[in-house]
Structure 1
Amino acid sequence: MAGRYDDRDGKIWMDGALVDWRDANVHVLTHALHYASSVFEGERAYNGKIFLSREHSERLLTSGRLIDMEIPWTVDQIEAAKTQVLKANGFSDAYVRAVAFRGAGEDMGVASSRNPVRMAIAAWEWGAYYGDAKMKGAKLDISRWKRPSPETIPSAAKAAGLYMICTMSKHAAEAKGCSDAMMFDYRGYVAEATGANIFFVKDGEVHTPLADCFLNGLTRQTVIRMLKEKGVAVHERHILPQELEGFEQCWLTGTAAEVTPVGQIGDYTFEVGALTRDIAEQYERHVRS
């Protein structure tokens, strides 16, 4: 599937029913458009089965509660809706996007408690998020924006508003010929990329930033478990910028990114080494098993 995302054939689930793709619209005074009262999930289906589907649905409801937005669908209802979408569109391998948001209603200020919470689920065929980076390693810029303190935002929520600095960071990175940008956190520690968690290798051991102010990704958790099962030491800790020079390998994890090697971050370079390739291949087998 290619072309504009608002002009495609297919079906999208909205508020309990399948509608034609081009009719899946909202009013311009939808609260989420003005105040970012929205949470979402990105998921991938492999061979007709969504990887960690139920965990994604559970996290969507948790994200809604964290931004004071109770989503009026159960996990089972969301699971059934995702199955409907894949079947209606005839997809086996696909990216699935579930989004819940405050719609248009009686409120059009910061407060929105009287507005309905709406939900939509769409799916489309989507290849490698970073293109050919899976072979040669992605090139990352270093963002000028930092992940904020959890005292300022609900950092455990996958909420739309938290991604604005990611959008700006990725735009700046692409303008420099990079695939993405790595972000530091509010304390100056290495945090993550704009839409993916990050891992480093040194002396056969893995180091990854402690997820204490950014989303602890489901793919991140899966990869950590896989590494430990292989007997690889994994250190979840605060990583200082000056440590980048000493790391030998690097990769990103995320539903869209899957496991993507990194060849360069700013002036620092990394090899696409054996452990990186091994965990990427093992993850690919795992999601299709």
Structure 2
Amino acid sequence: MSGAYDDRDGTIWMDGMMTRWRDAKVHILTHAMHYASSVFEGERAYNGKIFKSREHTERLHRSAKLIDFEIQWSVDEIEQVKAQVLRASRLKDAYIRAIAWRGAGEDMGVASARNPVHLAIAAWEWGAYYGDAKTKGAKLDISKWKRPSPETIPCQAKAAGLYMICTMSKHAAEAKGCSDAMMFDYRGYVAEATGANIFFVKDGEVHTPKPDCFLNGITRQTVIGMLQEKGIKVHERHIMPEELEGFEQCWLTGTAAEVTPVGQIGDYNFEVGALARDIAADYERLVRE
């Protein structure tokens, strides 16, 4: 599958029906388009099986509740639909996007309680998120935008509106020849990349930012468990910017990113070392079991 995302062959499930890809549309006065009242999940299937599928669906429901709406389809029903969509895609390795949003209805201001909630699920082929960075190490910019305080946003929701500063940060990074950008949080601690969590290695131990103002990714949690099973000490803590100089290795985790080594963040350089390569290989084996 290739070409613009609105002009492809295939089908997308929308509100209980399989819809031709090009016909999967919403009205211009859809509330989510104006006020970002939508939540989503990004998932990968390997060898015809969606990795951690149910965990993603459960988070979709939690995200919706955090931004004050309910998804009418249950977790079990969404699981069945995702399997149906994957079969219809005829792909074994695929990216799956589930999105729920407030549509057009009686409300067209900030409030939208009377508007219907919709759900759509699509699947497509998507390769390595950072291209050849898995072998060479990704190059990251440092964003001027910061992850905000949890007092200002529902930071544990995977909600569309929270990605606005991520989009701007990634655009700025790409303009500089970088793959992505690392963000600090509102206190000045290291936080994450625009769509992936971050890990560092020093003296054989792993350090990763404490997810108290950004999403605690499913891949992040998976990798922490893998490291602990290998007997590697993992420190989940606040990391100061000046500590970057002392770290030896770095990698990113996420459904799209999988496990991607980082070679550079701003002026700081990291080796694509043994632990980064090993955990990437271990993750690849795990998702294909």
Q: Which TM-score band applies after superposition, normalised by the shorter structure?
A: over 0.9
RMSD: 0.3
Q: Deviations over 1:142-167 (max 9, x none)?
A: 00000000000000000000000000
Say whether residues 1:107 and 2:107 are aligned partners.
yes
Q: In the TM superposition, what is the alpha-carbon distance from 1:88 to its structure 2 partner?
A: 1.0
- Once the two structures are superposed, what CA deviation does each residue of 1:61-100 show, in whole Å capped at 9, x if it has no partner? 0000000011111001100110111111111100000000
Q: Does 1:238 align with 2:238?
A: yes
Partner of 2:146: 146
Q: How far apart are residue 2 of structure 1 and its match?
A: 1.1
**What is the aligned length?**
289
Q: Equivalent residue for 1:22?
A: 22
Select between 18-27 and 84-93 the one with higher mean Cα deviation. Answer: 84-93
Distance between the aligned counterparts of 1:89 and 1:173, measured in 2? Answer: 33
- Counterpart of 2:133 in structure 1 is 133
SS in 2 for 1:220: helix
Quick one: distance in 1 between partners of 2:145 and 2:263? 22
Q: d(CA) in 2 for partners of 1:24 and 1:267?
A: 44
Query: Where in structure 1 do 4 or more consecutive aligned residues deviate above 3 Å?
Result: none
TM alignment of 1:1-289, pairs within 5 A: 1-289=1-289
Distance in 2 between residues matched to 1:206 and 1:199, nearest whole Å: 7
**Paired amino acid for 1:147:** R
Structure-1 separation of matches of 2:17 and 2:55: 23
- Other structure's SS at 1:208 match: strand
Percent of aligned pairs with the same amino acid: 82
Distance 1:141 1:63 in 2: 29
TM-score (structure 2 length as normaliser) = 1.00
Tell me, in whole angstroms, the C-alpha distance in 2 between the residues paired with 1:183 and 1:140. 10
Q: How much has 1:245 moved relative to structure 2?
A: 0.1
In 2, the alpha carbon distance for the partners of 1:182 and 1:212 equals: 16
Q: Give 1:140's aligned amino acid.
A: L
Q: CA deviation at 1:124?
A: 0.3
> What letter is aligned with 1:81?
V
The aligned amino acid for 1:258 is E
Structure 1: how far apart are the matches of 2:272 and 2:89?
36
Cα distance in structure 2, aligned partners of 1:245 and 1:196: 21
Contiguous gaps of at least 5 residues in structure 1: none
Between the aligned partners of 1:276 and 1:88, the Cα distance in structure 2 is 35
Letter paired with 1:216: N
